[in-house]
Structure 1
Amino acid sequence: MNDTEWITQLLQTENSEIIGMEISRIDNPVLLHNIALNYNWDDGFKLLNLIINNGNCELGTALMLFYNADGYLLLNENSKNNITGQKEWLAFINTLFNKLLNDKFCSKKVSYQPGLSKVQKYKLKKANPNIPEMFFEGVKAKN
């Protein structure tokens, strides 16, 4: 079975204990990234929390998850006062943001560029002058 078939099978598994065991055993950051990339966000945040807490989750994957989870709202000064929503989402996005700020992810094999426009970058940098550049420019894999 190739990686794509395995990821599809894993993401279709309904037993969360099996998924948790499999995610915790993954030592390949590219495989973790591909699981995160193909994740169905309607399934909640349990699997995503497992991914970001796996020691092999890289900065590129974490940034991708941050932006896919609407992390832009957290960085956007105009949205901060209007952030409401699921407790699960708030807990996930805040945990991920803090892990990113505290340099809890390495960067070796996984690249990610947020795809922000020049205007978006300007507004975010103006609202958040202390936010690390990686939030605006992303990260490149190291060879």
Structure 2
Amino acid sequence: MKEKISDEKFEEIVDNLILEYVKTVNPEIWHQMAMEWNWDSSSVFLNWLIDNPKTDKATALMIYWKSAPRYWKKFLDKDDLISKEKYGLADFEFVERVENNILKDFYQGNNFEFDPKNDEQNYDWTSDYADKITVRNIPDIMFEKFEGQKVEEPENFIEGMPPELYEMQDELYEKYDIE
């Protein structure tokens, strides 16, 4: 019989599983996970990545652009956001943290390639929300291509998870009855 637990508790268990897993793999796997990550799922992994100085600069830049930074530039600061919208503070702060970390050269790794104007699928992330009015500019460095090893899109990843991690998550679904 499955153990009954709350949805919140299950998410916490899955988050801990992911964090324990990523501590055992290299920054290239982190980069591949971020490439394919399901942005509707847990952000604990992405927050861990952007707060980790061992994350590659290209990985951080990719995360930045996949977070729609131009959308958040329509606000002067978090107080302006709070006065105008009832949601999005965590996303706003996330984008600001990545940008500030890149600007202050927080990330130690500089091994991988990422071009926000032409990613591995030839997508131009810098064009997202280009038609929107902004009150702050995205710093020039955020538009630059970070040179390095081209990281191939991962094979067999499911929602950003390598097969072995996805299987471990599936085992948790078998173990628990989520309420």
Q: Deviations over 1:3-33 (max 9, x none)?
A: xxxxxxxxxxx7211111112333x221110
Distance 1:69 1:93, change over 3 A: same
1:25 is paired with a residue whose SS is coil
Gapped regions of structure 2 (runs ≥ 5): 1-12, 118-125, 150-179
Residue 66 of structure 1 is matched in structure 2 by 64
Query: Which residue in 2 is equivalent to 1:39?
Result: 37
Secondary structure class of the residue paired with 2:23:
helix
Alignment correspondent of 2:14: 15
* Structure 1 residues 1-143: aligned runs within 5 Å: 15-26=14-25, 28-74=26-72, 76=73, 79-81=74-76, 84=85, 85-115=87-117, 116=126, 128=137, 131=139, 133-141=140-148
Residue 49 of structure 2 aligns with an amino acid whose one-letter code is I
CA RMSD of aligned residues (A): 2.7
Distance 1:56 1:25 in 2: 13
SS at match of 1:41: coil
Q: Is the 8 A contact 2:34 2:59 kept in 1?
A: yes
Unaligned 5+ runs, structure 1: 1-13
User: What TM-score do you get using the length of structure 1 for normalisation?
Assistant: 0.67
TM-score by structure 2 length?
A: 0.55
CA contact (8 A) 2:15 2:42 kept: no
Deviation at 1:87, TM superposition (A): 2.5
**Structure exhibiting the larger radius of gyration computed from Cα positions:** 2
In structure 2, how many angstroms separate the alpha carbons of the residues matched to 1:106 and 1:139?
Answer: 13
Task: Look up the equivalent residue of 2:148 and give its one-letter code.
Answer: A
